[in-house]
Structure 1
């Protein structure tokens, strides 16, 4: 369940990011945590931060509906739109990731389907997932998953890095066990999965 939240003005070295964020929030349908998170991702994409493809990986129809739902009447600055594209449908794990997100969602609405596809596009990046998505902190990513895929969030009760956690879930579904250590606590790669992302 989404609750209304008030977000303080975020400090950043990028004035244009602050401007875009303020413009988006001024057009927001509601001031929810999902609204803030989506505004952060769009803003970062507009200024070339993060590692997201065009329209955050969504097709035109899904993108336009998501914008209309969250930021009605906001017009994106077309001359500044980045045109980095990735065809996520060609990646072998897309269907498995989508199924993972959908089955851990209490009420699969159209915007939650969009957030699933955005997360999938973000998983294709090489940095921490929250950074690739263009979020401004790992807390925003955790909130995004809690708000939209609460059953999945509940499974990550040891605070594993999200991208590693998603792929571990895929391995468990297929009964593929690639970790050699008997438990995470004694694994030599523990910091890679559970270390700080900040």
Structure 2
């Protein structure tokens, strides 16, 4: 009697794999050449993979407006790959967003408003995302689901070119943005809240001998 074949087990997809799959699904609904589509898809895809839309930094109304503007059709129900978005969004609408450090995020928003470029129509959503991301203990590019620091640089140059030109010492972006926000408000320079838990904290803030 022939032996029964043993079913092949496949490892569960990693968080990064799920985030990338969701990002690609969102991009199927985006304009083909929009410069911010990849950024927003990565942020929303990462948040969906973590089942935490609040981590996107976008309030429910902002998230709906962004999806309608940049990913029309994503909520229609025809794309089964985006069932997570349709499942999680109603609960996020009900619960709403939270801001653990509104004083800091306000400083960041004031800074971004002061330096925003006149052209892009998506800058308001970029500002919301970046302000909250600076609260978390990771490099901005990795936290946002991007490929590297150069992606953050390109994003900032598109939306806040005056800020990019001021980073003459090539500081890490989270450190620079926090310092710039404090300086703009006339306050002493202070590290971003998320810097304290970053693996490179001692690189960015070396202890004086």
Shared fold (TM-score, shorter chain, > 0.5)? yes
Hey, what's the Cα distance between the residues in 1 that align with 2:138 and 2:108? Answer: 18
Is 1:79 the counterpart of 2:87? The answer is yes
Q: Which residues of structure 1 form unaligned runs of 5+?
A: 1-11, 180-188
Aligned partner of 1:8 in structure 2 is none
Quote the Cα distance in structure 1 between the aligned partners of 2:187 and 2:18: 47
Aligned to 1:88, the other structure's residue is in SS state coil
Alignment RMSD = 3.2
Partner of 1:148: 159
Q: Is this contact kept in 1: 2:55–2:132, CA < 8 A? A: no
The residue number in structure 2 matching 1:65 is: 65
Whether the aligned pair in 2 keeps the contact of 1:53 and 1:121 (CA below 8 Å) is no
Alignment partner, residue 94 of structure 1: 105
> When the two structures are superposed, what TM-score results if normalisation uses the length of structure 2?
0.68
Aligned equivalent of 1:4: none
> 1:167 and 1:110, CA in 2 relative to 1: closer, same or farther beyond 3 A?
same
Task: Give the TM-score of the pair, scaled to structure 1.
Answer: 0.72
Give CA-to-partner distance per residue, 1:93-135, whole Å, 9 cap, x none. 2222111001111227652111101101101101112222232
RCO higher in structure (CA 8 A, sep ≥6): 1
Residues 129-154 of structure 1: CA distance to partner in whole angstroms, max 9, x if unpaired? 22222323222211211111111111
Question: Helix, strand or coil for the counterpart of 1:126?
Answer: coil
Checking the alignment, whether the CA contact within 8 Å between 1:160 and 1:193 is kept in structure 2 is: no
Correspondence list, 1:155-194, <5 A: 155-173=166-184, 174=186, 176=188, 191-192=203-204
- Corresponding residue for 1:47? 49
Higher CA-based Rg: 2
